[in-house]
Amino acid sequence: MLFMVQMQVNIPASIDKDTADALKKNEKEMSQKLQREGKWRDLWRVVGQYANVSIFNVSGNEELHQILSNLPLFPFMTISVTPLTQHPSAIAQID
């Protein structure tokens, strides 16, 4: 199943820089692992914000929930999830 996931990150200023840097490093490693596995299909930065729009290709709601809730920055995210299905006029086929 495909999902569009919008993530807004808000790391509190009270978190020390070393901790924030470690969280960001771990988040990057995890996101790249999931991309290589094909689960995190697309990752797009929202210009001017600490936010992204991503497309996930997972088995369903439960797998997506597990992935998102295990992200290192999850405690500092506001997340919006939209399930997707192919549009009948789309030329490209979903893999």
User: What pLDDT does residue 47 have?
Assistant: 98
Work out whether strand 77-84 and strand 40-45 pair parallel, antiparallel, or are unpaired: unpaired
User: What pLDDT does residue 94 have?
Assistant: 67
User: What pLDDT does residue 67 have?
Assistant: 98
Mean per-residue pLDDT over the chain, rounded? 96
Residue 15 has φ and ψ, to the nearest 5°, of -80, 130
For the chain, domain boundaries = 2-84
- Tell me, yes or no, if the pTM score tops 0.75: yes
User: What pLDDT does residue 95 have?
Assistant: 61
Read off the pLDDT of residues 20-37 as tens digits, 9 standing for 90 and up.
999 999 999 999 999 999
pLDDT band at 92 (very low <50, low <70, confident <90, very high): confident
Beta strand extents in 1-95 (DSSP E only): 2-9, 40-45, 51-57, 77-84
- Which of the four CATH numbers 3.90.850.10, 3.40.228.10, 3.30.365.10, 3.30.70.1060 does domain 2-84 have? 3.30.70.1060
